[in-house]
Amino acid sequence: MRLRQSRRTSYIDFMARKTVSTRSVRGKKARVLSSRVVYRGPVFHVTNDQVREPGGYTARRDMIRHSGSVVVMPVEQRGKEPHVLLVRQYRHAAGQDLWELSAGRIDPGEETLAGAKRELEEETGFRAAHWKRILLFYSSPGFLDETMAVFMATDLQPGPARPEEDEVISKRFFPLSSALRMVRQGRIKDGKTIAGVLYLAAFPPSASRS
């Protein structure tokens, strides 16, 4: 249905004002009016925040506060294609075993690279001679402030794993082509692992190493 001239003009004016409004608040941060901790656990805590957002809207935001995580993508070049090491473990939130990249929470005061090296050795037993941070992203920024720093680890040396008491972990190297097929088929369901595998397909180790 065509808009009459007056309605069309009003709509264009509205969109113009909306665009100006969006640009005027871009880059600004919300003002926190109040914040209180409503839950505190060993891994994260939850706050109830009252905020005035950049557009002037006042809202309640319940936020999960997390110290951040490191993710490790160990890669070996075998023949014509790289192979990526994935671990398999049970995830209660998902209700099933998942194939994932090794990952873990950053300890207080710990540098991200040190945390990545620790997690790789604990979960898989491998050490790596070369490390490169390839991604940094928010895992679910609508309600969670956790960041994930993804490192590619190459020139691997095997060793004994040291998993935590509650971790039952198996590991396996997958050819990149197989890992990509698992992503397409929905057999890899973990977001950080999907991001890592797609990065590896776009930027193989020879192009990514410092």
Mean of pLDDT values over 5-11: 46
pLDDT of residue 13: 47
CA 145 to chain centre: 11
pLDDT of residue 23: 45
- Residue identified by tokens 């990509």 is 180
Q: Decide: 135 and 149 in contact? Cβ < 8 Å.
A: yes
Question: What does the alpha-carbon distance between residue 22 and residue 55 come to, in Å, rounded to a whole number?
Answer: 8
Mean of pLDDT values over 16-24: 41
Q: Decide: 175 and 169 in contact? Cβ < 8 Å.
A: no
Structural element, H or E, at residue 150: strand 147-157
Q: Tens digit of pLDDT for each residue in 169-182?
A: 899 999 999 999 99
Supply the pTM of this predicted model. 0.82
Domains of the chain with bracketed CATH: 26-66 (no CATH), 69-204 (3.90.79.10)
Return the closest-CA partner of residue 197 out of 76, 31, 84.
84
What residues does 84 pair with on adjacent strands? 75, 174
Residue 106 has pLDDT above 80, yes or no: yes
Residue 195 has pLDDT above 80, yes or no: yes
Q: Tens digit of pLDDT for each residue in 31-61?
A: 999 999 999 999 999 999 999 988 888 999 9
Q: Tens digit of pLDDT for each residue in 139-189?
A: 999 999 999 999 999 999 999 988 776 778 899 999 999 999 999 999 999
